[in-house]
């Protein structure tokens, strides 16, 4: 399974609270998975310069039509600003009809716990 490793766009302050989000997306078809995969580099580039992003990673299983994201943010508002802006915002709107299922979970962690543990995130998404 291809994984984009944990990337740190902005060095988080020590001993601070982070807003964490994990997601799982499953597309209806392989065509949908390909479209998701094609849009990933632009969104990943956006994450790399997003204000308030403390870290992010992506796991992909394109042949199973499933993708997972894991990210940490300085606040829920920083995550919302990222999610609404481009290229993420247009990608979400364009891919929504191709999705079979999506799940999101959020929780708080300390910045001392970063990078986040994929095993914990996947368990929370079950």
Q: Where are the domains of the chain?
A: 3-125
Predicted confidence band of residue 126 (pLDDT cuts 50, 70, 90): very high
Residue 1 is predicted with a pLDDT of 54
Residue 94 is predicted with a pLDDT of 92
**Strand, coil or helix: what is 126?**
coil
Per-residue pLDDT reduced to its tens digit, 33-81: 999 989 999 999 999 999 999 999 999 999 999 999 999 999 999 999 9
pTM of the model: 0.94
Per-residue pLDDT reduced to its tens digit, 82-97: 999 999 999 999 999 9
Comparing CA positions, the residue from 108, 75, 14 lying closest to residue 116 is 108
Buried b (16+ CB within 10 A) or exposed e, 49-81: ebebbbbbbbbbebeebbbbbbbbbbeeebbee
C-alpha–C-alpha distance, residues 4 and 13, integer Å: 23
Sign of the CA dihedral with 55 first, then 47, 99, and 36 last:
negative
Comparing CA positions, the residue from 17, 90, 28 lying closest to residue 54 is 17
What mean pLDDT value characterizes the chain? Answer: 95
Tell me which CATH code domain 3-125 carries.
Answer: 3.30.70.100
Q: Mean pLDDT, to the nearest integer, of 97-103?
A: 95
């Amino acid at each position: 399974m291809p994984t984009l490793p944990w990337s740190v766009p902005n060095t988080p302050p020590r001993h601070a609270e982070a807003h964490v989000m994990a997601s799982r997306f499953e597309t209806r078809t392989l065509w949908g998975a390909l479209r998701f995969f094609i849009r990933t580099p632009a969104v990943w580039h956006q994450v790399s310069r997003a204000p308030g992003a403390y870290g992010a990673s992506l796991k992909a299983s394109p042949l199973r039509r499933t993708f997972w994201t894991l990210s940490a943010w300085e606040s829920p508002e920083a995550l919302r600003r990222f999610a609404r802006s481009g290229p993420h915002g247009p990608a979400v709107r364009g891919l929504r009809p191709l999705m079979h299922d999506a799940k999101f979970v959020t929780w708080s962690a300390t910045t001392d716990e970063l990078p986040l543990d994929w095993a914990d995130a996947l368990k929370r998404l079950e």
